[in-house]
Amino acid sequence: MSVRPVIAKNCYPCHSQAGMGGLKLDSREAVMKGGKSGAVVVAGKPEESLLIQAVAQTHARLKMPPNGKLSVDEIAVLREWVRGGAMWPAANAGATQAASHWAFLPLKSSGEESIDAFVEKGLAAAGLKANAEADKRTLMRRVYFDLIGMPPTPADTDAYMKDSTKDAYAKLVNRLLASPQYGERWGRYWLDLARYSDGQLGANRDTPFANSWRYRDWVIEAFNHDLPYDVFVKAQLAADVMPGTDNEKLRPAMGFHALGPQGDDRVDATTRVFLGLTVACAQCHDHKFDPIPTKDFYSLQGVFRSSEIYQHPLADAATVDAFAAHQKKIEDAKYELDTFVQRRSAELSESLARKTARYLVATWKTAHGLPQEDKLDAEVLTRWVEYLKDPRKDHDFLKPYFDLKPDAPLAEVQRVAAELEKFIVGVHEERRRMEDRNYVKMGGEKGVRTESIRQYTNLESLEIHQYYLWRDLSSEAYKKDFLDFKGGVYFYGEKNIARWMGQEWRDEVKRLQEVYAATKKAAPAQYPFVHAVREGKKPANIRVAIRGDAKNPGEEAPRRFLSCLASGEQPAFKNGSGRLELADSIIAHPLAARVMANRIWQLHFGQGLVRTASNFGRLGMRRHILSCWIIWRRSLLIVAGQ
């Protein structure tokens, strides 16, 4: 049991907003401040603390809560808490924590002229001295690797070693910063943060997006053209609605969300990448370490839910319409072909079902080495033999066959087989009747296709065990590894149905296949487009999902920025989804600059000042600036912009 819930449940009704007796108990500051009688907690000394005397009801007058008494355990928890110094548990430290956490504070000057002077002062204070400078060649290689990720060529090295002018080093740095490889190297770091990949794009896709490179190239260009960081951030979140910019030119930036993280991950990526905060930890409970209430997660989630991902065409409307119209033609041709084959296939399996008794008897004879007189299809018989080798099925309709004794007289086998045939034919007929009824329900009429045909709403289907029987015999879905074919015993599909068809039908299948192939071939190439994000049709707040469970909605979470990053209440976003306001809020907060400066530092010097580059929360690991300095002395100049 922890302290906060005990206090919240028993004392907040009167000692939070209401502050009865002049006492608030909802932050450490408030607890330490005390009430109208002065201090109520003496850290380390429970027996001297008014609060403990009140709850233990050992105080002559004051008995809390006034209308009852806490349990022995609850009192013990509070007593231990005071004994331990009355630290305030993280989950509720909210405002107080936010106000004091270093990463949330405004940026301030070190008071030094340059980073060098700042660091040297720190070194001196620690009684340390900087290492000697790296030699010219070593430094050059470092700069190459840092800026373009590749070593210098021998010719580059020679030229640089021979250059004895005073600003040789600065010229080298500037030349590399200006080279296209700089953007490729540094863009890649960013693309990793954006979870970008131009090949495999997640578990639910196996074909790469043909236009994903537009985002990749935009990022590279942004680094090469030194796009201001605020524009860089805002474009990736809200290029479509950024005022005073060329929205078309910036649109590829939206690949950040359109190509990368989807669903809930958008909150995670946005807050970790730009703010170094793990807001996604607040999806199911208030953040356990940082002052981020669950509600904040849903406030941001609401912004993304109010936006939609789409393909923004880079072609005129006529091209786009023509493409869509042709895609529909392809679908139609495929539909014609599939429907024709499916019907023939269903008819075939139904007629084969009417020979079930003969196949079963023949299977029996095969299994018992008896002579075979009946003329049956060899392939279908082989399928039966294989299918009946293993009596374990998802249904038990074939039990009478499996129960036959090895020495059962043939007449007995025939009788069981005939009964089974009757049942199996019945199942097939029932299945066909349902299909017909479903077909009509879906708006089908004598082969005339309507849009609703492919929707599966409220359709009848066989009782589940009968379905398994039908599936094993006549559906394409049935697959066992003992046979080298896909589908049930009586199933023949597009690939292998031809030998069961007369010439007319074969010709028809061939014709439909040709139409389909030709339509596909004639398709215009997909027009170029940008993976983009736009405002949703109905921007709306969403509700908190209690403990992360969407089926258990809680209070509404207004779309607004993180509460811990404001001194007062965050105002609700007013425009559309709120994406632009979110982007503005992010970039306006010093955290955004801190996080990016740290990333640049980390990628130049191997370690960030904050080692957890995507977590600037209380569990983030802040490092001492000196260790970086000592290793990389001269290279620091790049970051310092000198």
Distance (Å, rounded) from C-alpha 235 to C-alpha 214?
14
Q: Judge whether 533 and 288 are in contact, CB under 8 Å.
A: no
Query: What is the nearest approach in angstroms of ligand HEC to the Cβ of residue 549?
Result: 9
Position closest to ligand HEC via CB: 35
| Closer residue to ligand HEC (CB): 70 or 233 | 70
Minimum CB distance to ligand HEC, residue 2 (Å): 7
Distance CA 397, CA 293 (A): 57
Contact status, residue 83 vs residue 3, Cβ threshold 8 Å:
no
Minimum Å distance from CB 201 to ligand HEC? 23
- Considering beta carbons, is residue 13 or 208 the nearer one to ligand HEC? 13
Whose Cβ is closer to ligand HEC: residue 234's or residue 305's? Answer: 305
For the bound state, the minimum distance from the C-beta of residue 408 to ligand HEC, rounded and expressed in Å, comes to: 59
Q: Which is nearer to ligand HEC, 89 or 444 (CB)?
A: 89
Helix axes 136-148, 168-178, angle to 10 degrees: 20
What is the nearest approach in angstroms of ligand HEC to the Cβ of residue 18? 8
Q: What phi and psi, each to the nearest 5 degrees, are found at residue 310? A: -155, 170
Number of other CB atoms surrounding residue 479 within 10 Å: 12
Residue with smaller CB distance to ligand HEC, 77 or 639: 77
Which lies closer to ligand HEC via its Cβ, residue 283 or residue 598?
283
Q: Residue 219 in contact with residue 191, Cβ under 8 Å?
A: yes
Which residue lies nearer to ligand HEC by CB, 11 or 596?
A: 11
* Chain position carrying tokens 């260009």: 221
Q: Which of these, 589, 612, 609, lies nearest to 601 by C-alpha position?
A: 609
Nearer to ligand HEC, 294 or 607 (CB): 294
Distance (Å, whole) CA 243 – CA 581: 12
Q: Which is nearer to ligand HEC, 171 or 285 (CB)?
A: 285
Give the nearest distance from C-beta 561 to ligand HEC in angstroms: 20
Output the smallest distance, CB 275 to ligand HEC, in A.
Answer: 15
Shortest distance, position 534 Cβ to ligand HEC, whole Å: 28
Cβ 15 to ligand HEC shortest distance, Å? 5
Q: Of 51 and 143, which has the nearer Cβ to ligand HEC?
A: 51
3-state SS, one letter per residue, for 424-443: HHHHHHHHHHHHHHHHHHCC
What minimum distance in Å lies between the beta carbon of 14 and ligand HEC?
3
CA–CA distances in Å: residue 547 to residues 283, 297, 585: 7, 12, 27
Alpha-carbon gap, residue 605 to 63, rounded angstroms: 60
C-beta closer to ligand HEC: residue 536 or 548? 548
DSSP track, 292-312: --HHHHHHHHHHHHTEEEEEE
Q: Closest Cα to residue 78, out of 103, 46, 34?
A: 46
- Separation between Cα atoms, residue 259 and residue 253, nearest integer Å: 10
Q: Which residues bind ligand HEC (CB under 6 A)?
A: 10-11, 13-15, 20-23, 34-37, 40, 50-51, 54-55, 62, 64-67, 70, 278, 280-281, 283-285, 288, 547-548
Minimum CB separation of residue 197 from ligand HEC in Å reads 23
Check: CB of residue 640 under 8 Å from CB of residue 613.
no
Q: Are strands 553-557 and 542-545 parallel, antiparallel or unpaired?
A: antiparallel
Rg (CA), the chain: 37
CA dihedral of 137, 141, 143, 149, whole degrees rounded to 10? 170
Q: How far is the CB of 67 from ligand HEC (least distance, A)?
A: 6
d(CA 21, CA 619): 37
In angstroms, rounded to a whole number, what is the distance separating the alpha carbons of residues 446 and 385? 38
Looking at the Cβ atoms of 65 and 493, the one nearer to ligand HEC is 65
Task: Quickly count: other Cβ atoms within 10 Å of residue 200's Cβ.
Answer: 10
Q: Which of 388, 396, 399 is nearest to 360 (CA)?
A: 388
Listed residue (234, 100, 108) closest to 567, CA to CA: 100
**434 in Cβ contact with 461 (< 8 Å):** yes
In whole angstroms, the minimum distance from the beta carbon of 559 to ligand HEC comes to 20
Output the smallest distance, CB 12 to ligand HEC, in A: 8
Which residue's CB is nearer to ligand HEC, number 86 or number 280? 280
Question: Given the complex with ligand HEC, which of 62 and 380 has the nearer CB atom?
Answer: 62
